[in-house]
Structure 1
Amino acid sequence: MGFTSAQANGEVRSTSQHPWWKEASVYQIYPASFNDSNDDGIGDIPGITQKLDYIQSLGVDVVWVCPMYDSPQIDMGYDISDYEAVYPPYGTVQDMETLINEVHGREMKIILDLVVNHTSDQHAWFKESRSSKTNPKRDWYIWKPAKYDNDGTRKPPNNWRSNFGGSVWEWDELTQEYYLHLFCPEQPDINWENEEARKAIYQSAMRFWLDKGVDGFRIDTVNMYSKPVGLPDAPIKDSAAEWQEAGLVYCNGPRMDEYLGEMNAILSQYNAMSVGECPFTPDPARVLGYVSEKEARLNMVFQFDSVDVGMGSVFKYMTKPFNYTLADVKSAICRTQGLIDGTDAWTTSFIENHDQARSISRFGNDSPQWRSRSGKMLAMLFASLSGTLFVYQGQEIGMINIPKEWPIEEYKDVDTMNYFAEVVRRNPDDTKAHDEAKAALQNLARDHARTPMQWSSQANAGFTSKSATPWMKANTSAQEGINVTDETNDQSSVLNFWRQMLKLRKTHAEVLIHGTFKLIDDDNPSVFSFTKTSPDAQSQATVVCNFSDNENKLPLFDELSTADMLLDNMSEVCTEDQSILQPWEGRVYFSDKREHL
């Protein structure tokens, strides 16, 4: 394929054509749940450092650490009280400096979460802002006077619903005004219109860590900083509720491009990467405006088309498990892959993160019979898509959702708790409604990604000592072989398949990372097939995935030669009839015209 020795050795280096972040595979770490080095039941920064050799063995290039900043932990660290300090149970700034150096010493890179739409209400900036209407930092946050109805009842400025339920407005008794919080009341939104506030963010949250050597940021809620003029009411979609879902109203405001241009100017000085979380943006042209290389705003974004499949439209959990078709999955992936077709944009490939349930439980089959094979099929699919690949901790060993029999009390996430409480409030005596809510949460809740990483079959999954009490109960699937130790020793495991796929992705980067995606056999209700063609049109991969517990015919069988099959996910001996796909079977075929010259 004509790749450089650096690529053959797995290093990610910039070229004039391909910046380093394009061919990188990124491994996401949720600090509280990754590895506990001091047996207090909470994962920590030294625990991450201890596991760097394991992370490197996967074949990834970049480590992404979720918020480790000082925080009251109302929303698991996405409520930051000091950007320049570390949450004490996780460690110290010095521990972070050690981690950065150790990552770089292994020729990998490290990125952090950048959470700057809001701070914690315990941040010094907000404490000043709420201290009086005349404080110099009053305008660093978004304060508004109350509205009053005809009978004199005080009302918030508009009808927006928070991402976690309830109004986005919190009344402040001391200064007699409301402040805006798109998330928890303890997460007040920063007023990005204030230039002083922006400059403070750039220095405290960005340059402080870039100067310590971090290689970029995953930027939280990247399209929420610029609010719409006048903060208008959202359309009424939920007639039973006072507060309405408003993401399409408050995202992608009028000054977003300006703010992202300012951030990019800083990142560019450090050759640092940016990947933005970009919800509520259905217009591809708007996404393209964010990630076009010419526009110089963001390197790439996470679009949520794929992970939103099957979610409710009013409340994401107001749905039934598996409420989607394979056609929905296909169209979602087509949209995100199509972003780079004929453009100067870049995209991402992911199906898990800290805000999603486990992909095998959502899109594969997590039964003992099919868990491993469907997990390998999903690895094949997402590692074959163009863009920068993101893998979430535990995804590489095929971790699955919390068992169905676990009570709701085992769930910890504020989003889960608020939704379940709202269902109970609306339907106090309706046990069927409660059971339906629990079923939806068992399928979709964020908690499933937050149970401790499963290192072994020992007590607490090897995440912490036997005598410690983990902050969240470890999934009992660790005792069923879903752990790093057992998967390492099994050559046909999900873990070893991920290692194989990540290596294959680098070897055939021009096709799998930079290639053009084209859906084939799109009407097939059970099989997802597509081609990837290199930019010079000389090489092509065909990827076929059977999303079914049943055998299915191989699409385009006459055009696919068995000799061209590069990889499949079958460890078992299967039928000699290559025209039949086994349940959850995936195959990659590869052809190179240059081989026949």
Structure 2
Amino acid sequence: MISDSAEQSHVDTPEASDVWWKSAVVYQVYPRSFQDSNGDGIGDVRGILQRVDYLAELGVDVVWLSPIYRSPQDDNGYDISDYQDIDPTFGTLEDVDELIEALHERGIKLVMDLVVNHTSDEHPWFAESRSSVDNPKRDWYWWRPAREGMEPGTPGAEPTNWGSVFSGPAWEYDETTGEYYLHLFSRKQPDLNWENPEVRQAVYAMMRWWLDRRIDGFRMDVINLISKHVRPDGSLPDVPAEDGLYGSAFAATVNGPRLHEFLQEIHREVYEGRRDGLLLVGETPGATVEDGKLLTDPARHELDMVFTFEHVSLDHGPAGRFDVVPLDLRDLKATLGRWQTGLEQAGWNALYWNNHDQPRVVSRYGDDGAYRRESAMMLAIVLHLHRGTPYVYQGEELGMTNAYFTSLDEYRDIESLRFAASERQRGQLNDEELLSWLAAGSRDNARTPMQWDATPQAGFTTGQPWIDVNPHHDTINAAAEVADPDSVFHLYRRLIALRHEDPVVQRGDFHLLLPDDPHIYAFTRTWGDEQLLVLGNFSGTEQTVPVGPDWDQAALVIGNYPASPATGGGQIVLRAWEGLVLRRAPIR
């Protein structure tokens, strides 16, 4: 039974409780897939300008843009060739200035995605670096000779056995100088050498330049990989081999020895003394709760919040993200609960189900068939009632689903394509099996065009889209959702308004309930003498939840069914995929 008493919640200091982003909601725009304004099939900045009123109607406080910098687009813009220009695919700097103004007029901030672990191999910095061993920018990237006694360019001759995130070795042999350069991701994404102070100062100058253009902060891509584990003699260590010759480079790059020093320097050199209201968010794969505390403790002046990956890795099998296994809800509750309590006294959570790198949550943790609407709403309620800043990924507020492509030719994601090529070469999976794996795990599930209406290209473009539109757009689209007051869209609007208005949602303590229940996600949020009970049924069958008599007369705050659930006798009967929030009388 859920206890009828609650511990008195802690009280934030004025400095902690008044931070604006504790009551804010962020909306991520993946520009390539959001709105095309010129019919070339690729979303652009002027397309986003066409939809700012939609964002204002939803009620979000911040828009986070995935990269729109000049780029060869090897990894859809996460390979930057010029940090201070916009790729012509997306528009011009003047378009961005207009977008900043349009958002600010509506009270919405703009945060830019920034990739400074690596650049494109077409960035002028790298062109200089690779030109000769004595170029002044040679040490701006990681260059190393082949292993002693081995022929350069042959398998196993790489300076270390680090494997790339996108498969294969993390070192690329370059014939120009006869050495290898490091790339944790694509070979067209060479890693910057943050040990070099000139690199850091160049990055900081660029960040200040963007803030001078009146953007409101940065989301820092894979920021906890910038400090490599360098030995005193300058060499880099091997890692345990996992697949033939190569092992995961993460072991030698995640949360490196100078990470906190570098982040504090960013804060000092870029943010300190500038205008109020700026945001600095870090994507931190491999970060633990203890890492999160250090990274987001405001007294340390590093990051405001981090994206952890633990909860979106729980359905990964031994072969990684494409090897999807059933989610055990008990693991999800334990993981999110650990982050909630771990960052309670110092630090802050970034709350998300979806982003440009994750499959659609309603297909992943919900039911995208008969209960798509209900499960999409339940998942939203559960996430948004946690303590932290919620992030909404474009289309999540519509209940968009995975794409379920039927041909490998429909995929565009570099990670998915390299995985498929590798598995074909190994002969482990046939094409039918590959399609099944990609349908569940591919990043392209999040990258299909935004579904604005039921027209042939979903209102995204008048041309041929760069990636196929999800066939569900005829029934799942913004026009239909906005017109229906009981839709997923309007449930998100209500959740966003609740965070704006309710101090219990903004600041209340989190207490996990029923940790061993395999179907029910339950927790309370408590602030002073106010308490909310949050319940989510992660199943397609009715579930009876023992809550105690104090909740029999509690008021329904928000739910995903038109009528209130059956209550009485200290129990609540939750319908299939039901989610709800109750408020009871003040605790005495």
Q: TM-score, normalised by structure 2?
A: 0.93
Aligned counterparts of 1:547 and 1:86: Cα–Cα separation in 2: 43
Q: Is the 8 A contact 1:305 1:336 kept in 2?
A: no
Q: Is the 8 A contact 1:275 1:300 kept in 2?
A: yes
Query: Counterpart of 1:269?
Result: 273
Deviation at 1:316, TM superposition (A): 2.5
Q: Is the 8 A contact 1:34 1:48 kept in 2?
A: yes
Aligned counterparts of 1:476 and 1:223: Cα–Cα separation in 2: 38
Query: Counterpart of 2:314?
Result: 309
Deviation at 1:458, TM superposition (A): 0.5
Alignment of 1:353-392 (within 5 A): 353-367=355-369, 369-392=370-393
Q: Which amino acid in structure 1 is aligned with residue 134 of structure 2?
A: T
Q: In the alignment, is residue 570 of structure 1 matched against residue 561 of structure 2?
A: yes
CA RMSD of aligned residues (A): 1.9
Deviation at 1:288, TM superposition (A): 1.2
Q: Which amino acid in structure 2 is aligned with residue 267 of structure 1?
A: Y
Relative to structure 1, the CA distance from residue 572 to residue 422 in structure 2 (aligned partners, 3 Å threshold; closer, same or farther) is: farther
Query: Counterpart of 2:5?
Result: none
2:458 to 451, 461, 465: 461
Relative to structure 1, the CA distance from residue 167 to residue 110 in structure 2 (aligned partners, 3 Å threshold; closer, same or farther) is: same
Deviation track 1:89-127 (CA, whole Å, cap 9, x = no partner) reads: 100000001111111111111100111000000000000
Deviation at 1:559, TM superposition (A): 3.5
Deviation track 1:285-332 (CA, whole Å, cap 9, x = no partner) reads: 222111111111111101112211201345322x23x42211111112
Q: Is the 8 A contact 1:34 1:47 kept in 2?
A: yes
Aligned counterparts of 1:581 and 1:482: Cα–Cα separation in 2: 25
Q: In the alignment, is residue 397 of structure 1 matched against residue 398 of structure 2?
A: yes
Unaligned runs of 5+ in 1: 1-13
How many pairs align?
564
Query: Counterpart of 1:415?
Result: 415
Query: Counterpart of 2:3?
Result: none
1:248 to 248, 251, 276: 251
Deviation at 1:151, TM superposition (A): 8.3
Q: Is the 8 A contact 1:81 1:120 kept in 2?
A: yes
Q: Which amino acid in structure 1 is aligned with residue 477 of structure 2?
A: N
2:468 to 466, 473, 476: 473
Alignment of 1:129-140 (within 5 A): 129-140=129-140
Query: Counterpart of 2:212?
Result: 211
Deviation at 1:182, TM superposition (A): 0.5
Q: In the alignment, is residue 69 of structure 1 matched against residue 84 of structure 2?
A: no
Deviation at 1:233, TM superposition (A): 1.1
1:499 to 475, 482, 493: 493
Relative to structure 1, the CA distance from residue 590 to residue 212 in structure 2 (aligned partners, 3 Å threshold; closer, same or farther) is: same
Aligned counterparts of 2:440 and 2:86: Cα–Cα separation in 1: 33
Percent identity of paired positions between Structure 1 and Structure 2: 41
Deviation at 1:49, TM superposition (A): 1.1
1:560 to 547, 551, 555: 551
Deviation at 1:442, TM superposition (A): 0.8
Q: Is the 8 A contact 1:339 1:346 kept in 2?
A: no
Which segment is superposed worse, 346-355 or 573-582?
573-582
3-state secondary structure, aligned to 1:147: coil
Query: Counterpart of 1:438?
Result: 435
Deviation at 1:207, TM superposition (A): 1.1
Deviation at 1:371, TM superposition (A): 0.2
3-state secondary structure, aligned to 1:22: helix
Deviation at 1:408, TM superposition (A): 1.8
Deviation at 1:494, TM superposition (A): 0.5
Q: Is the 8 A contact 2:529 2:586 kept in 1?
A: yes
Q: Is the 8 A contact 2:366 2:538 kept in 1?
A: yes
Query: Counterpart of 1:340?
Result: 343
Q: Is the 8 A contact 2:334 2:515 kept in 1?
A: no
Q: TM-score, normalised by structure 1?
A: 0.91
Q: Which amino acid in structure 1 is aligned with residue 280 of structure 2?
A: S
Deviation at 1:437, TM superposition (A): 3.4
Q: Is the 8 A contact 1:46 1:91 kept in 2?
A: yes
Relative to structure 1, the CA distance from residue 505 to residue 151 in structure 2 (aligned partners, 3 Å threshold; closer, same or farther) is: closer
Deviation at 1:427, TM superposition (A): 1.2
Aligned counterparts of 1:143 and 1:303: Cα–Cα separation in 2: 30
Q: Which amino acid in structure 2 is aligned with residue 550 of structure 1?
A: T
Q: In the alignment, is residue 529 of structure 1 matched against residue 535 of structure 2?
A: no
Deviation at 1:211, TM superposition (A): 0.4
Aligned counterparts of 1:253 and 1:16: Cα–Cα separation in 2: 28
Aligned counterparts of 2:564 and 2:582: Cα–Cα separation in 1: 19
2:479 to 479, 482, 485: 485
Q: Is the 8 A contact 1:386 1:514 kept in 2?
A: yes
Deviation at 1:569, TM superposition (A): 0.7
Aligned counterparts of 2:151 and 2:119: Cα–Cα separation in 1: 35
Q: Is the 8 A contact 1:248 1:281 kept in 2?
A: no
Query: Counterpart of 2:186?
Result: 184
Q: Is the 8 A contact 2:282 2:306 kept in 1?
A: yes
3-state secondary structure, aligned to 2:104: helix
Query: Counterpart of 2:8?
Result: none
Q: In the alignment, is residue 588 of structure 1 matched against residue 581 of structure 2?
A: yes
Query: Counterpart of 1:4?
Result: none
Query: Counterpart of 1:518?
Result: 511
Deviation at 1:591, TM superposition (A): 2.6
Q: Which amino acid in structure 2 is aligned with residue 383 of structure 1?
A: H
Q: Which amino acid in structure 2 is aligned with residue 371 of structure 1?
A: R
Aligned counterparts of 2:151 and 2:415: Cα–Cα separation in 1: 34
2:529 to 538, 551, 555: 538
Aligned counterparts of 1:78 and 1:164: Cα–Cα separation in 2: 13
